[in-house]
Amino acid sequence: MTDAPDGGTAAGPRWRVLAEVAAVFLKLGLIGFGGPAAHMALMRDELVRRRGWVSDQRFLDLMGAVNFIPGPNSTELAIHLGHDRARSRGLIVAGVCFILPAFAIVTALAWAYVRYGTTPAVAGLLYAVKPVVVAIVVWAIAGLLRTAVKDRMTGVAAAAGLAAYLLGVNELAVLAAGGLLVTAVRTRASWLPGRLGRGSGTGLGSGRGRSSRSADAGPGEDDGDQDAPSGDRTRGASARTTGGDRREAGTSHRHTDETTRDSGQKDSGTDENSRHTDGHGGSATANDRDPSGSDRDTGEGREARPSHHDTNATGEDGPDGNGRRTNGNGGGTDANDHDPDGSPPGATGGLPALLAPLAAPYFPDPTGGQLAQLFLTFLKIGAVLYGSGYVLLAFLEGDLVERLGWITNTQLLDAVSIGQVTPGPVFTTATFIGYLVMGLPGAVLATIAIFLPSFVFVGLLTRIIDVIRNRTWSAAFLDGVNATALALMTGVTLHLARDALVDPLTVALAVLALLLQWRTRLNTAWLIGAAAALGAVRALIL
């Protein structure tokens, strides 16, 4: 097997490459404490520094690009790196394996939360892990700095981006401003008034060029150059060189112009045929596409589906009086209830029928509209959400607490806390909430729904990322975004350090982790594992 440091696929048996991708991202998902910045640092250490799958430039390009699509950035980076390694199958394997450890851990914690009414204490474990994670992120930033800051302008964009982030400016606005700033400076030759028209025979630039050539050629040649049209300077110079007079040059120019007009008429005919073909094709495409009709059919189908659980045993619609489940016995249906055909209530076939036995104790009508509503709610969040975990909190509160009333604010805060302190993507908060609302089926559906848009967006992004890098203006924009993204990563690290470095022991752990990364090639997984063990021992002693 050969590595592909510039973004190409790896050579070797397909199953072996996919197995490597699965193993790497399972490990990264298991040790990925600290949020997106830490995840990206771990990926850079594992895939750039240790395995050489991609170069630092490629890694930065992907890191900058995923900041402009909705969803969890570190998960999308993992998905794209998997695509670089093993194409479409690698895209799916990398994303699923990165999410899977967090899904399993959060599901177990959600079960304990429902069973015992509280979450296990993990503060002692994270006491020693956080400073080590900060050191890993700092080392990654140092390694990427030389690649991201290529010149003075990218340095200015990075410094301005860091200042703006610390002042509370929206992250997406900071990234866009950094990209536009670098693009404007690098492409100024094409839009500054004094430079317009250079090489085109018109404008200020061409006028200066003619003056310079006239001064070198002498008075006689200057007159001839002024008589010739600006677009025909080359032909005029050829006529002067062969000794022809201006009338002969003019005749030649007129003949050339007539030939050009004839060619233009032929091109016009070709364009008309092309437009006719395009118009025909466009009409067919317009007639083939009718998303609104499909949506209406789907909506009518859901509205027409009969519900077998309009009321529960107490005569109340849905969950308990607060609109949410409080224990395994409340709000459920009687196990002896059956539909007229003898099937369990709501067993309409397919996936809902398989999930109904698992969900029945936890959520009324798990196979009806509420099942679809849970899925669609998290699908919407995954498709439109930009920003940090605080933005996720706002979305979840608006939909699940205020609009639907499925969980309380206390349960929401507990869910977000679990997502923050467990390894892997923070979006596994959806897993916790899905379990609270609908048990294991809810956890599975909520997780699939919130991450599904990321797979779709990255699949589309893989088709254009190389084109972006190969165009002058878009490459400049990407360089500005990369520098600004590294600045945002630095700002996040400063916040992490403020929370992690709380006493001399945590500072010593961070310094030790930095020294080990500098002097050895020790895998960061060992650093995090040792820190977790130390935190657990300290929690037991104290």
Clarify whether residues 379 and 527 are in a common domain: yes
Clarify whether residues 416 and 523 are in a common domain: yes
In our burial notation (b when 16+ CB lie closer than 10 A, e otherwise), range 57-96 reads bbbbbbbbbbbbbbbbbbbbbbbbbbbbbbeebbbbbbbb
Clarify whether residues 108 and 170 are in a common domain: no
End-to-end CA distance of the chain: 50
Clarify whether residues 516 and 455 are in a common domain: yes
Residue at which a domain ends, from 67, 84, 116? 116
User: What is the helix (H) or strand (E) element at residue 162, kind and residue range?
Assistant: helix 152-166
- What total number of domains does the chain contain? 2
Clarify whether residues 165 and 178 are in a common domain: yes
pLDDT tens digits, 164-207: 999 988 888 999 999 999 999 988 877 666 544 444 443 333 34
pLDDT tens digits, 414-435: 888 788 778 989 899 999 999 9
Residues 6+ apart with CB under 8 A from 155: 149, 483
**Quick check: is 319 in a domain?**
no
* pLDDT (0 to 100) of residue 101: 95
**Quick check: is 282 in a domain?**
no
Clarify whether residues 98 and 144 are in a common domain: no
Clarify whether residues 138 and 96 are in a common domain: no
Task: Give the mean pLDDT per block of 10 residues along the chain (542 residues).
Answer: 52 85 95 88 92 93 89 93 94 96 94 80 77 91 90 94 91 91 86 52 38 39 41 42 42 44 43 40 40 40 39 41 42 42 41 43 53 91 76 83 88 83 89 92 95 95 87 90 92 88 93 92 86 86 78
Structural domain boundaries, residue 157: 119-189+361-539
* pLDDT (0 to 100) of residue 453: 95
Residue at which a domain ends, from 85, 116, 147? 116
* pLDDT (0 to 100) of residue 213: 39
**Quick check: is 238 in a domain?**
no
**Quick check: is 375 in a domain?**
yes
Clarify whether residues 112 and 134 are in a common domain: no
Q: How many CB atoms lie within 10 A of CB 381?
A: 24
**Quick check: is 185 in a domain?**
yes
Clarify whether residues 161 and 30 are in a common domain: no
Question: Structure tokens of 244?
Answer: 């022809």
